[in-house]
Amino acid sequence: MQKTIILDTETTGTEHLDRICQLSYIVLDSDGNIEEIHNEFCKPPVPLTFEAMAIHHITPEMLQDTIACVDTKAYKRLLELNTPNNIMVIQNAQFDLDMLLKEGMKLNMKLLDTFRVLRALYPDDSPYGLQFKRYQWGLYKKEKALVEKYNIEIKAHDAVGDVIVLLNLFEKLCEDYEMDEMIEMCESPIVLELITFGKHKGKRFEDVAIESRNDLRFMLDTFDLDDDLKATLEYHLEITKSKVVIKLRFGKYFGKTPDEIVLEDRSYLVWLSNNAERLDKDTIEAIANALNK
C-alpha cells in the first residue's frame, strides 16, 4: 500500500560539510491517516554552527547523548520506506535531500516539493515560506487537535513542529490540486511566469526578457540559481529573441545594431567576434548573424 512521508530536518548549518542533527517525519497511509511519527535528535560528525543554533535552538548539550543519524530508528525506518511506490513530501526539498544523501540515502520515492508547487501554482501568493503560509492560510487553526493527540509542540525551525505545519499545508494543496499532478510537476524544472523578487517584482519574466534583457542575463550568469529559476530564465530569453533588437552598449557604435554596423565597418564586428569575452550571448549571436548575411 502506498504511503506518504512528510519530512523535515534540522542541521548543523547550510554549507557543504554540514549534517543532520534532527530527523523528523510523519507517515500517512493510503487514506491520509497518520500511521507513524518519528522524531530523533542525532549526533552529527561536525559541530553545530552558531548561525544554525540561533535558528533552531539545538545546542551541543542536547546532542551529547545521541547516536549518529544512520543508527537512529527514524533513519533505518526511512530506508525501509524509501521505495518507488511511496511519496516524499518536503518543503524546499533539495536541501533536505542533499543532507539525507550525505547519510547515504538517495531518494527512490516520488517527490512532492511544496515550495516549488506553491511558486508555480500560486505565483501571486508569495512569499512561499512554511511559517508564512501557516498564518496566511490559517493552517495554525488545525494544529490543536494534532498537538493534543500526539503531544507535539509546534515551534518554528523545529523539525517535528515544521512537519505538522507541512502536513497541514500538504492537505490544503491536495484540496485544490491532484497529488499526481503536483508530483509530475516536480519531476522536471518548472518554468515560472511571474517574478516575485527584486526590482522587477510583480512583472512577467517574458516582459522583462524583452524590456530589460540584460538584467535576466546578469542573473543567469552571476547567481547560483535553483533549477526552476535557471530553466525559467533560459526559456524566456530564448522565446523572446525574435522580439528584441540587439544594440551595442559601448564603444564608438553605441546604440547601433550589428546589422547597421556591418554595412559601415565590418572589420569592427570581426574584431568584436574575436574578443567576445566581454559580450553577452545575445550580442554574440547578433554579430554572428550580421557577419554571415
Among 142, 159, 185, identify where a domain stops.
185
Q: What is the extent of the structural domain holding 262?
A: 258-292
pLDDT tens figures, 231-289: 999 999 999 988 888 888 888 989 898 889 989 999 998 898 888 777 888 888 888 88
Domain assignment of residue 230, yes or no: yes
- Coil/strand/helix, residue 151: coil
Q: Is residue 84 part of a domain?
A: yes
| Residue range 107-128, pLDDT digits in tens | 999 999 999 999 999 998 889 9
Instruction: Kindly state whether residue 64 falls inside one of the protein's structural domains.
Output: yes
Note whether residue 251 is domain-resident: no
Any domain includes 34:
yes
Instruction: Give domain status of residue 96, yes or no.
Output: yes
Residues 51 and 181 in one domain: yes
Residue length of the chain: 293
Q: Is residue 249 part of a domain?
A: no
Assess whether pLDDT exceeds 80 at residue 155.
no
Enter the C-alpha cell of residue 260.
Answer: 547597421
Per the model's pLDDT, the better-predicted residue between 214 and 182 turns out to be 182
Cβ neighbourhood burial of 77 (10 Å; 0-12, 13-18, 19+): middle
Q: The domain that contains 117 carries what CATH number?
A: 3.30.420.10
**280 lies in the same domain as 142:** no
User: What is the sign of the dihedral through the CA atoms of 216, 186, 92 and 60?
Assistant: negative
Task: Tell me whether residue 253 is in a domain.
Answer: no
For the segment 36-70, what is each residue's pLDDT rounded down to a tens digit?
Answer: 999 999 999 999 999 999 999 999 999 999 999 99
Same domain, residue pair 53 and 158? yes
Instruction: Give CA 44 to chain center in angstroms.
Output: 24
What is the pLDDT at residue 3?
Answer: 98
Query: Do 135 and 215 belong to one domain?
Result: no
CA distance 107 to 36: 19
Report the percentage of the chain scoring pLDDT > 70: 100
| pLDDT of amino acid 157 | 73
Q: Which residues are bridge partners to 34 per DSSP?
A: 28
At 159 the pLDDT is 85
Q: What is the pLDDT of residue 275?
A: 83
DSSP 8-state secondary structure symbol assigned to residue 194: B
* pLDDT band, residue 230 (cuts 50/70/90): very high
| Residues 202, 92 share a domain | no
Do 165 and 60 fall into the same domain?
yes
Q: Please spell the DSSP secondary structure of 84-120, one letter per residue.
A: TTSEEEESSHHHHHHHHHHTT----SEEEEHHHHHHH
Confidence of residue 96 (pLDDT cuts 50, 70, 90): very high
The Cα 191–Cα 213 span in angstroms is 17
φ, ψ for residue 151 (rounded to 5)?
A: 55, 55
Structure-model confidence comparison of residues 247 and 28, the more confident one: 28
Judgement on whether residues 92 and 233 belong to the same structural domain of the protein: no
Residue 181 sits in the same domain as residue 211: no
Give the per-residue pLDDT at 6. Answer: 98
Distance of CA 115 to the CA centre of its chain: 7
Domain stop point among 185, 209, 225: 185
Q: pTM value?
A: 0.86
Domain count, the chain: 3
**Same domain (yes/no): 88, 136:** yes
Q: Are residues 202 and 173 in the same domain?
A: no
State the pLDDT at residue 245. 85
Per the CB < 8 A criterion, the answer to whether 225 and 219 are in contact is yes
Question: What is residue 195's predicted lDDT score, i.e. its pLDDT?
Answer: 94
Lookup: cell for 97: 535531500
Q: Are residues 42 and 133 in the same domain?
A: yes
103 and 134 inside one domain: yes
Compute the mean pLDDT over every residue in the chain, rounded to the nearest whole number. Answer: 93
Determine the residue type at 107. L
User: What pLDDT shows up at residue 284?
Assistant: 86
